[in-house]
Amino acid sequence: TTVVKIGGARAVDPEGALADVASLVEDGEDVVLTHGGSTAVDETLEDLGQDPTYVETPGGVVGRFTDEDTMDVFKMVMPGKLNTDLVERLHNEGVNAVGLSGTDGKLLEGKRKSAVRVKEDGKKKIKRGDHSGTIESVNADLLETILAGGYTPVVSVPVLGREKESAERRSADNSSEQGSRDGGYTAVNADADRAAAAIAGALEADLVVLTDVSGIYEDPDDESTKIDAAATPEAFETVKTAAEGFMTKKVMAAEEALEGGATSVTVASANADDPITSALAGEGTTLE
Ligand code: ADP
């Protein structure tokens, strides 16, 4: 089984990846496609006159703050437009694709973390009302059932998050929000790379992360310094040191995938012919 994550960056054209999914499926390979789409969420927010909110943790990691309105847009864009577009395009490639969000059949289940620690104007604060969370379990059985039926799953975030049952949260949060009953479920935002990692781990699959660079470079600005592979803890450290910004999250996700049972993780360019087949053949940066 191969789990493919396709980036949401503008510079990424899914054309080659989708054709490659079709040829892999044709050859009898099980493929699960997952996707991001943060840029599209931001664009839609802006079209609707809302500003995307990004916060910085005290540790310096920047991430989206997903308030209730943002979560509504997130649902419209991710499992709505982007997922449906990919399913549509796969059908045109002859693939019988099935679109799912992490909420379907508890495909991706986790915990909502509504309060986040942030650094604003140099001051540490707690910001409440975030609709994001972490993935704790994957319904591998659902994916295997879909694959066994000859269908190709296309998975997007959000994730099904359990609300925390705590008096503190009840009093601190204005809990009139729909679906945010204590102990109930609510859709939460989670990083798409980590969602792909969780799925690859649960399926003990090879994970191919397709993005706008041809791998992880020792010098982030110099493609000729691409690291081909890292199969030892020392090599992994080199990769960790090299990764900056968004790539840091991909390396973290890769580590989670391998710890969770994935057989390999390859970061490679989406903008190539047969990007998945070449990644599996050793193009890009392979982590084992
Ligand atoms: P996607 O939207 O496809 O998920 P991201 O934008 O999250 O991709 O991550 C890819 C980006 O990571 C690259 O465009 C590059 O700017 C950045 N990056 C940071 N460090 C590195 C590195 N060491 N090697 C390659 N790219 C890096």
Q: By C-alpha distance, which of 210, 206, 100 is closest to 157?
A: 100
CA of 216 to the centre of ligand 1 (A): 8
CA of 242 to the centre of ligand 1 (A): 11
| Vertex 270 angle, CA 264 and 273, to 5° | 100
What pLDDT is recorded for position 113? 93
For the chain, report the end-to-end CA distance as a whole number of angstroms.
Answer: 16
Q: In Å, how far from its chain's centre is CA 88?
A: 20
Residue at 145: amino acid letter: T
CA of 249 to the centre of ligand 1 (A): 9
Ligand 1 atom at minimum distance from 216 CA = 24
| Residue in this structure with the two tokens 């045109």, named with its chain if needed | 92
Q: Which domains does the chain have, with CATH numbers?
A: 2-287 (3.40.1160.10)
Ligand 1 atom at minimum distance from 210 CA = 3
Pocket of ligand 1 (CB under 6 A): 7-9, 12, 36, 211-213, 216-217, 220, 242-247
Best substitution site from 212, 221, 223 to test ligand 1's pocket, by max atoms within 8 Å of Cβ?
Answer: 212
CA of 212 to the centre of ligand 1 (A): 7
Q: By C-alpha distance, which of 155, 137, 127 is closest to 66?
A: 127
Ligand 1 atom at minimum distance from 12 CA = 3
Ligand 1 atom at minimum distance from 7 CA = 3
Tell me if the pTM is above 0.90.
yes
Best substitution site from 247, 248, 251, 285 to test ligand 1's pocket, by max atoms within 8 Å of Cβ?
Answer: 247
CA of 129 to the centre of ligand 1 (A): 29
Q: In Å, how far from its chain's centre is CA 208?
A: 12
CA of 2 to the centre of ligand 1 (A): 22
The residue whose CA has the least distance to atom 6 of ligand 1 is 246
What pLDDT is recorded for position 106? 98
Ligand 1 atom at minimum distance from 249 CA = 7
CA of 192 to the centre of ligand 1 (A): 14
Ligand 1 atom at minimum distance from 215 CA = 25
CA of 77 to the centre of ligand 1 (A): 22
What pLDDT is recorded for position 277? 98
Question: Do residues 202 and 138 lie in contact, with contact meaning Cβ atoms separated by under 8 Å?
Answer: yes
- Listed as ranges, residues in the chain with pLDDT below 70 are 9, 165-182
